[in-house]
Structures are given as C-alpha cells and as structure tokens.
Amino acid sequence: MLDVDKCCITRFPSPLLGQKAKPIEKIDDSIRALAEKMMDIMVQQKGVGLAGPQVGVALRIFVASPDGTKKNAKVYINPVITPSGKLEAAEEGCLSLPGIYGKIRRYSKCSIKAAGFDGNQFCEEAEGLLARIFQHECDHLDGTLVADKLSTVAKIAARKKLKQLRENYTQQKQ
C-alpha cells in the first residue's frame, strides 16, 4: 500500500530518478490518491507536469497541466508515447533539478496512449508545450533527466548547481 502522505519532491541525485519505473498493475483508490497528491504537489511547486519517480514512487504515472492549474490537470497511467514532427529546442527546467535550465531538443508533436483515473485507455494527440510535457514526463518514467539531455556547454554551466544538489542530498541522507 502506498503511503501517499509521505510523497514529496524527489531531488537529484536520488537513485530513484535514474531507474525505470514499473507499470501499474491495478488502478485502485491508492493510485487515485497518489494522482491527486501529485496534482497538488505539481500546482504547489508551480510545475506543469510531475512523474511518479519525482514524488518517490517508482511507478509509471504522471500528471500534466499545461497552464499549471489543478482544474486542467490530467493523469496518465502506464503511458506509451509516439513522438512525431520535427525536433525543436526550447528552454526546460525540472522540479527535481531546481535552478537548472537548458535548451532541450524534443519532437514538436506526439501521441500518447494511457489509462485514466477510471482505468480506461485513451489516446491523445499533442503539440507544442503539451507534447514537450509528455516527452519530459515519459523520460522520467524511463530514468532520464533533463540534466542527461543538456548540451556539453549547458552541463558545464550547470555543474555548480548540480554539485550543490549532490551536497544537499548527501546532507539530507545523513
């Protein structure tokens, strides 16, 4: 059983963020409570997407809201994404990597197949920001972070902040 009350933002370099998340076998009240908690955390942290590993849960679930509101937030369980369109670079950040931003190349469009709160499968087409959110969150489910996708120059520029995040993480674990 999930302890949803303990869910909070998981920060780099937590090993959980680098792992592939497991599929959700059964959508029950604990999964629905997790999704609600994730939406609340995303809105509180002023994000537009949040994946299971980012709240300490290694499950294939994410929530997304292009305008950052709970009213327009939606849950995606066991998503399968198919990118399309052309690759475009745009500035991206991540709630698990506070203060680190970089130009990330993503496809301009994608389709996603996932289950919702009710357990029913649905398909959705996305472009622009929503397509970027889907790709970013699916990366989290596969253990890939924005920091992994930064250019060499951007990695050099971010190294002090990454070092600080590592030090903060080590101090919290002690």
* Three-state SS at 109: strand
Which residue from 55, 72, 56, 49 is spatially nearest to 139, judged by alpha carbons? 49
Question: Which among 88, 92, 124, 137 is annotated as catalytic?
Answer: 137
Instruction: Return the structure tokens found at 97.
Output: 């990597």
CA within 13 Å, CB half, 21: 28
Question: Is 167 an active-site residue?
Answer: no
Rounded Cα distance between 4 and 148, Å, is: 28
Which residues are tagged catalytic?
137
